[in-house]
Amino acid sequence: MSAPSPGMKALLDRLSVEDAGLPDPTTLPAFQGRALAALSNLRWNENLPEMAEARTVSIADMAARWVVPPKGSGDRVILYVHGGGWAFCSAATHEGAARRLALACEAPVLSLEYRLAPEHPFPAGLQDVLEAWSARSRDRRWTLAGDSAGANLALAAMLQMQQEDLPECALLFYGVYGADFSTPSYRKYADGPGLSRAKMMRYWDWYASHEQRGDPQVAPLGASDAQLSRLPPLYLNAAEIDPLHSDTEALAERLAALGRSDRFDHVEGVVHGFMQMGAFLPEAREAFRKAGAFFKDVPHEFRSTHNREEIS
């Protein structure tokens, strides 16, 4: 079992005190679990970075949060899909993450409020991401980003997009890409800390039936080599102490075998969801920095194959 970094251990110790006696939100009725998860995640919004602009907007008749960093030309925009097991969290719980991503990339971030399971199982959330993407403004260049279940939705959306409508790159953080609960990381970190195998199994039961899990739009690791080959450049990271680590590792290995040059960062000593903790955790701030560096250095050969009207 890998040891948490000093900063991660301090936060885990804090959580053990603050959350003592609280139930596992995935064992509650969804609306109750969602409220508890919101309270748990909103604490990470302390010391929010200052933005030039931060407001609630609408895209494709869905609410979204628009944040603009003090520095950045604004000709590139990131559509961000929050995590939470397809069932929990919101743009509000991920406000800090969206702002830190905007700062690191020097670009505005639009954080989408998509429909949540179990009230709205697959394909509702994916359809919302695709509708928001189709409704984006055409005078800017767009990128997709997401964490955990949001990374799943972002990747699944790209698998469905037409080639000429793809983003110029995507930033995917500790994503859910498969429904195999016997991978090395699921076995090693079945009981957490934090995310556990039992929690992920309940999230999956809320989101998609067993029959649907063979669909690459549900579990993107099932995509063909041809489908993966046509994706734009990807930035991937994975938390070391995370049942989902093997998902990203397997995706990165498949992409590398296709001769692609995507970026995969293995982040040692941290648990699933660590980028939520950017106000307190150095590893989170460094992860945003690396994602921002990748975003700013999207391979020119990819950009040059898409004119501004096609991808903006």
Q: Which of 82, 94, 245, 272 is catalytic?
A: 272
Q: Which residues contact 58 (CB under 8 A, 6 or more apart)?
A: 64
Q: Is 215 a catalytic residue?
A: no
Q: Does residue 24 have an active-site annotation?
A: no
Structure tokens at 195: 């995310």
Q: How far is CA 21 from CA 31, 87, 209, in A?
A: 19, 22, 32
The catalytic residue among 94, 128, 147, 242 is 242
Phi-psi region of 106 (alpha: psi -120 to 50; beta: other; left: phi over 0): left
Q: Is the preceding omega at residue 216 within 30 degrees of 0, hence cis? A: no
Q: 182 in helix, strand or coil?
A: coil
Q: Is 263 helix (H, G, I), strand (E, B) or coil?
A: strand
Catalytic residue (one of 5, 40, 148, 246): 148
Which of 62-65's residues contact partners 24+ apart within 8 Å by CB, and which partners?
62/112, 62/113, 62/114, 62/128, 62/131, 62/132, 63/91, 63/113, 64/91, 64/110, 64/111, 64/112, 64/113, 64/132, 65/91, 65/92, 65/95, 65/98, 65/110, 65/111, 65/113
Q: Is 196 in the active site?
A: no
Provide the CA 74 distance to its chain's centre, in angstroms.
Answer: 22
Q: CA 216 to CA 214: how far, in whole Å?
A: 6
Q: Which residues contact 88 (CB under 8 A, 6 or more apart)?
A: 25, 33, 34, 37, 38, 116
Please list the active-site residues.
Answer: 148, 242, 272
